[in-house]
Amino acid sequence: MLGSSPANQDQSVTQPDQGSDREVSYVSERITWHMCKSIGPYIDMFDMFHGQIFGNATILMASLLFLRSRASYATITAPFSQAVSSIMSGNQSAGVSDVLVIGGGPGGLSVATGLARQLYTTIVFDNGVYRNARSQHMHNVAGWDHQSPAAFREKSRQDLLDRYDTIRFEDVAIEAVRKNAAGLFEADDATGRTWTGRKLMLATGVRDVYPDIPGYDEVWGYRVYHCLFCHGFEQRNAKSVGVLAIGDLSNPKVALHMAYQAQRLAQNVVVYTDGASDVAEQVELGVQPGFKITVEQRSIERLSMGPNNSEVVVQLSGGEEQVQGFLVHRPKAEVNGPFARQLALELTEAGDIKTSQPFHETSVSGCFAVGDCATYMKAVTSAISMGALGAGGLASQLQMLPPVAPGKI
């Protein structure tokens, strides 16, 4: 089993029973791997990084060279000592996978699907956090219109597990990643295990940063929509809907763009500028004749769900309340996880991970990024498309490398 922790291998390749001959061999092989990393100048003719299993002669040679170069076991270098401890405790991954995918949403699942078709060993890490967790239904996805995002993820995962044997899922959060001196990527999970892959795919998604409006968190994802292709149709013919022209939508042209979209679904549209009189003035001047779009520049005191949770209430300064079928707004978003910082990845002006087109490789060679974390157009369909292209980019690089040992992951 490649790239996996000994504690999680299947029965055909499980960690040997304690005290058995197989355990001695297993530990010897893993210790030798780390030993040779410490004394590379002596044995640089050996290939350490493609899952190669060392024979007894190699183990003996490495051991003798190590003992010759050190006065005693007590003088073992700290990194080697820590590696031995990690191996003995079962925290060190047992081999190298082709790809580590961080993120089990649409982007990560799409990547895994493409890699499965080319027999690349892939581990998908899923921490169970999804941006669209509040959405009961997903839309604008062919074949999955008005169905649960959770059902989509479950079906996609099960299809991969039923049909392909080179894909593995780990329901655990990854806390740290790095690229080691050998050019491999290492990922530490929340349980203390370390996983190793030849390539890394970030499909971590983003975290929405809410504006400083009381009650916004209560209505976001329920009656505040960031995309009117994804949501809004179900509330069509509403008497009135609103656009929050704040944050990224405070640009008058962007606010008007969203107002015209909203007009397709409602009789009237109100653009709220939350006290910004200059934005209100420019939006008013930009409204074309024949559209029922008005502007409200008073400050917003609070947002709340309306009766039966079917509408949203906008409370303005002075106490007036206006009921809207839904609100349109796109909050700022931050890339999930510390990985962009840990790898020193280049970001876009919007704060997304910057990638090259069309295969979405980041500024660090061998590391790719897809989905919401790497695009301004944050939607399920975008993530799926980017994932397919990202898998192609990964495969193009991997096919030029010697394959890892074959077998079920």
Q: pLDDT tens digit string along 2-38?
A: 444 433 433 333 444 444 444 444 444 444 444 444 4
Instruction: Please report which residue ranges of 119-175 form alpha helices under DSSP H.
Output: 149-163
Distance CA 239, CA 266 (A): 6
Model confidence band, residue 71 (pLDDT cutoffs 50, 70, 90): very low
Share of the chain above pLDDT 90, in %: 72
| pLDDT for 293 beyond 90 | yes
Beta strands in 326-370 (DSSP E): 327-328, 332-335, 367-369
The pLDDT, as a whole number, for residue 158 is: 98
The pLDDT, as a whole number, for residue 403 is: 77
Sign of CA dihedral 126, 130, 134, 140: negative
Model confidence band, residue 66 (pLDDT cutoffs 50, 70, 90): very low
Q: Taking the mean position of all CA atoms in its chain, how far away is CA 88?
A: 31
pTM: 0.76
The pLDDT, as a whole number, for residue 11 is: 36
Q: Maximum CA pair distance of the chain?
A: 89
The pLDDT, as a whole number, for residue 220 is: 94
Q: For residue 191, which of 125, 240, 129, 256 has the smallest C-alpha distance?
A: 125
pLDDT tens digits, residue range 222-241? Answer: 999 999 999 999 999 999 99
pLDDT tens digits, residue range 310-359? Answer: 899 999 999 999 999 999 999 999 999 999 999 999 999 999 999 999 99
Model confidence band, residue 407 (pLDDT cutoffs 50, 70, 90): low
Q: For residue 352, what is the DSSP state?
A: S
Query: What mean pLDDT comes out for the span 239-251?
Result: 96
Q: How confident is the prediction for the chain on average, in pLDDT?
A: 83
The pLDDT, as a whole number, for residue 94 is: 53
The pLDDT, as a whole number, for residue 93 is: 52
Query: What mean pLDDT comes out for the span 189-209?
Result: 98
pLDDT tens digits, residue range 136-188? Answer: 899 999 999 999 999 999 999 999 999 999 999 999 999 999 999 999 999 99
Model confidence band, residue 133 (pLDDT cutoffs 50, 70, 90): confident
Model confidence band, residue 408 (pLDDT cutoffs 50, 70, 90): low
Domains and CATH numbers, the chain: 97-207+333-400 (3.50.50.60), 216-328 (3.50.50.60)
Query: What mean pLDDT comes out for the span 263-276?
Result: 98
Check if the beta carbon of residue 244 is closer than 8 Å to that of residue 329: yes
Q: For residue 86, which of 200, 196, 183 has the smallest C-alpha distance?
A: 196
Write the burial class of residue 25 (CB in 10 Å: 0-12 exposed, 13-18 middle, 19+ buried).
middle
Q: For residue 54, what is the DSSP state?
A: P
The verdict on whether omega for the bond into residue 358 sits within 30 degrees of 0, i.e. cis, is yes
What token pair was written down for 44?
């640089």
Query: What mean pLDDT comes out for the span 383-405?
Result: 93
What token pair was written down for 325?
């079928």
| pLDDT for 40 beyond 90 | no
| pLDDT for 272 beyond 60 | yes
Provide the Cα torsion 229, 393, 165, 203; round to 10°: -50
Continuous segment of H or E residues that includes residue 188? strand 185-189
Reading phi first (left if > 0) and then psi (alpha if -120 to 50, else beta), residue 294 is in beta
